[in-house]
């Protein structure tokens, strides 16, 4: 495999891949108490019956509240005991919610305690991507719906591949994952086009400018042929990404076209500008063109897997009716965190709807075993040693 990773990352990648393999064996044998096994990750449902939760996050204010973003345009608060009856924010009237559209994520300003700013990413009634800021009201459990400031609007040529994740990086800048605009195969080649904000990882400074500023060390700043917001390119639909809380590394899950799903890592010391390959490549395979696609400048994923796993997942889910409810309508939180990552409970950075959150389960309650959790792989991969997991029904 023609990887462009440095040796340190090859080592890390090998270790992570080993973890996946051993974990699979462990699950298959039902061995979750092996002395050589890594920390056990136990998933416990804390909320059920929620309509299409797409992301959860926190305000960083020590309140212990979880903010649950719903596709239909609402943000709910879980106060540690229950979901509060009134939403934190309801912008459903502004949001298109069909298919891959909706209120896709929220991120709280690093200084939320002092400024009350929260940022949302949604598809508007035209289907275009909007990144907007809201401000909390005098009631800490309610954002002011009249406080909206639109930072960025990105025209979407098709309904699918809207990206949607917002995260503040360790550098304090806001990272925005954008899909390639959809249509299949990236027909306009947006992901490789430095004059398009589609198919990119963007990085902006929300503390500067009337809307936002450009961080002075963004990789394409000063390049007249490129948009300065671009931090990395070559992404198809980075539906979810997250920063490692210890290392600051950026983990990007990118949805594949027809064959390969992939996970990319960008080191915390990166200067940006990585080209993750799409549509030249899907995973480590040429896509368009069918051969001769990589001139050596592309950054390939550290993990990929083919769609047959997803097919198996759907089969397993369809044959275990009790487990269908375990994924789409529920929120899980870790109760046993790997060493160094803080005491539980804390939230997994990746959650999804049925389509993107295919928890693969076999068996029946109460001895349900989670064999694969596509949406939580980034969490599992953080553990430096093999992990095991179980799920309570």
Which residues of this protein are in contact with Ca ion, per CB under 5 A?
276-277
Number of Cβ within 10 Å of residue 49's Cβ equals: 8
Q: What's the rounded Cα separation, in Å, for the pair 264 and 253?
A: 6
Q: What's the rounded Cα separation, in Å, for the pair 184 and 192?
A: 15
Q: How far is CA 89 from CA 74, 137, 153, 161, in A?
A: 6, 10, 20, 24
CB of 18 to Ca ion, least distance (A): 22
Question: Which residue's CB is nearer to Ca ion, number 68 or number 260?
Answer: 260
Q: What's the rounded Cα separation, in Å, for the pair 152 and 210?
A: 11
Token pair for residue 355?
A: 């389509």
Name the E strands within 165-273: 166-168, 174-177, 200-204, 230-233, 240-243, 250-254, 260-266
CB of 308 to Ca ion, least distance (A): 19
Q: Classify burial at 384, counting beta carbons within 10 Å of its beta carbon; exposed 0-12, middle 13-18, buried 19 or more.
A: middle
36 Ramachandran zone, left/alpha/beta (phi>0; psi -120 to 50): alpha
| Closest by Cα among 76, 60, 59 to 68 | 76
Question: Which residue's CB is nearer to Ca ion, number 282 or number 334?
Answer: 282
Question: Which residue's CB is nearer to Ca ion, number 116 or number 234?
Answer: 234
Q: Do the Cβ atoms of 361 and 345 come closer than 8 Å?
A: no
Q: What's the rounded Cα separation, in Å, for the pair 99 and 112?
A: 32
CB of 254 to Ca ion, least distance (A): 6
Question: Which residue's CB is nearer to Ca ion, number 266 or number 330?
Answer: 266
Q: What's the rounded Cα separation, in Å, for the pair 258 and 301?
A: 16
Helix (H) or strand (E) holding 357: none
Q: CA torsion sign, 343 to 121 to 258 to 290?
A: negative
- Three-class secondary structure assignment of 214-233: CCCCCCCCCCCCCCCCEEEE
Question: Which residue's CB is nearer to Ca ion, number 89 or number 300?
Answer: 300
CB of 317 to Ca ion, least distance (A): 27
Question: Which residue's CB is nearer to Ca ion, number 229 or number 261?
Answer: 261
CB of 260 to Ca ion, least distance (A): 8
Question: Which residue's CB is nearer to Ca ion, number 89 or number 298?
Answer: 298
CB of 262 to Ca ion, least distance (A): 5
CB of 241 to Ca ion, least distance (A): 13
In the complex, residue closest to Ca ion by CB: 277
CB of 64 to Ca ion, least distance (A): 37
CB of 174 to Ca ion, least distance (A): 23
Question: Which residue's CB is nearer to Ca ion, number 214 or number 252?
Answer: 252
Question: Which residue's CB is nearer to Ca ion, number 122 or number 276?
Answer: 276
Question: Which residue's CB is nearer to Ca ion, number 233 or number 370?
Answer: 233
Q: Do the Cβ atoms of 79 and 87 come closer than 8 Å?
A: no
Kindly give the residue spans of alpha helices, DSSP state H, lying in 2-93: 7-29
CB of 197 to Ca ion, least distance (A): 18
């Amino acid at each position: 495999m023609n990887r462009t990773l440095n040796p340190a990352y090859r080592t890390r990648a090998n270790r992570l891949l080993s973890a996946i393999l051993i974990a699979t064996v462990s699950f298959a044998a039902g061995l979750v108490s092996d002395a050589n096994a890594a920390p056990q990750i136990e998933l416990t449902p804390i909320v059920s019956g929620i309509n299409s939760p797409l992301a959860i996050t926190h305000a960083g204010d020590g309140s212990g509240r979880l903010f649950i973003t719903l596709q239909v345009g609402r943000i709910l608060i879980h106060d540690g005991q229950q979901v509060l009856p009134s939403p934190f924010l309801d912008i459903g009237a502004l949001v298109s919610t069909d298919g891959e559209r909706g209120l896709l994520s929220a991120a709280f300003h690093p200084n939320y305690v002092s400024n009350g700013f929260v940022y949302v990413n949604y598809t508007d009634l035209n289907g275009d991507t909007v990144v907007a800021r809201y401000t909390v009201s005098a009631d800490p459990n309610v954002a002011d719906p009249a406080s909206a400031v639109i930072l960025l609007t990105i025209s979407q040529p098709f309904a699918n591949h809207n990206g949607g994740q917002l995260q503040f990086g360790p550098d304090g800048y806001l990272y925005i994952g954008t899909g390639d605009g959809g249509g299949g195969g990236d027909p306009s080649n947006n992901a490789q086009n430095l004059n398009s904000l589609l198919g990119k990882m963007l990085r902006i400074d929300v503390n500067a400018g009337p809307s936002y500023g450009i961080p002075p060390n963004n990789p394409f700043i000063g390049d007249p042929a490129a948009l300065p917001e671009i931090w990395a390119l070559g992404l198809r639909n980075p539906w979810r990404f997250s920063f490692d809380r210890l290392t600051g590394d950026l983990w990007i899950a990118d949805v594949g076209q027809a064959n390969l799903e992939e996970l990319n890592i960008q080191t915390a010391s990166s200067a940006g500008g990585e080209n993750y390959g799409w549509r030249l490549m899907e995973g480590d395979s040429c896509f368009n063109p069918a051969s001769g696609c990589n001139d050596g400048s592309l950054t390939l994923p550290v993990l990929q897997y083919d769609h047959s796993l997803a097919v198996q997942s759907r089969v397993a889910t369809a044959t275990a009716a009790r487990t269908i409810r375990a994924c789409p309508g529920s929120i899980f939180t870790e109760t046993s965190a790997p060493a160094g990552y803080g005491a539980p409970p804390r939230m997994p950075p990746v959650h999804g709807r049925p389509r993107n959150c295919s928890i693969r389960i076999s068996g029946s309650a109460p001895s349900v075993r989670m064999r694969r959790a596509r949406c939580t792989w980034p969490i599992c991969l953080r553990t430096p040693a093999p992990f095991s997991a179980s799920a309570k029904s």
